[in-house]
Amino acid sequence: MTVAILGTITLWATHSVVAVVLVVLLCAAGFADNPIVVGEVVRIAGAGRSLPMAPATSAFQVGIATGSWLGGIALTSSLVGTTPTSAATSRLIVRHRTGEVGVDYGDKLFWLSVVIQRKYAQICAEFDLTPSQATLLCAVRDEPRQMADLAASLGMTKNALSQLVDRTARRELVGRASSAQDRRVVMLSVTPTGKVLADALYAEVAKRLPEIARNLDADDQRDFERVATTIVDTSDLSAPTPDQPTTP
């Protein structure tokens, strides 16, 4: 059985999920062999003779220790990734435990969002703005927007957006006005003071937000920029999402 599992691992070592399952089966088979071999030793040597059992049990312990030692050497050697057998399989297990193959991909994206929001909030605080107020200013800094469309693009309810606009308007940073084409449509735009603040804030965010990737090397930073650009370019930021709208 052990030989069969090892042969299967050789064929499937590059398939992470299958490889992990096979390694677990290999471990189970190894533990099952121990009592069988010891039982055969007792049967051959005869009951009550403990001396023959000692080498058999010790052999398993030596094998476990030696296997762990050789496995550690394999994981840190240049052989990793060049052979499809146990070294590659062990590497896959390590990758699973550290999340390199997407086991906790969603978790990493969650914490990435926390890192981005924290940096964004720090920048906004320097301009005496909340992140919600800053986002609102940046959304209307270039041209007026309909309140309904703005609520959809920001993922907010109309009531929540109205409260946010009220707080921001009290600082004379934004103002409401009826549309010239349809008096029923409410438009939101920045005031001259709000325009100056929004432009300065936007420039600072664009300059400093990439600092979250400062610990990456140059190639990784370029890859990060490329992936971030692709995600934004392929996302519909103007349409409402089916998720629960946020509050300011």
Angle at CA of residue 228, ends 224 and 233, nearest 5°: 150
pTM value is 0.53
- Report d(CA 20, CA 26) in Å as an integer: 10
Of 111, 146, 133, 118, give the one whose Cα is nearest residue 198.
133
| pLDDT, tens only, 206-220 | 999 999 999 999 999
| pLDDT, tens only, 78-123 | 444 444 444 444 554 455 444 454 557 788 888 899 999 999 999 9
Q: In this structure, what token pair is assigned to residue 185?
A: 């449509």
For the chain, domain boundaries: 2-98, 105-233
CATH class of the domain whose range is 105-233: mainly alpha
pLDDT tens-digit profile, the chain (248 residues): 666 766 675 665 556 666 667 667 766 666 666 666 666 666 666 655 556 656 666 666 676 677 666 666 655 554 444 444 444 445 544 554 444 545 577 888 888 999 999 999 999 999 999 999 999 999 999 889 888 888 888 888 889 999 999 999 999 999 988 877 777 888 889 999 999 999 999 999 999 999 999 999 999 999 999 999 999 888 876 544 444 444 44
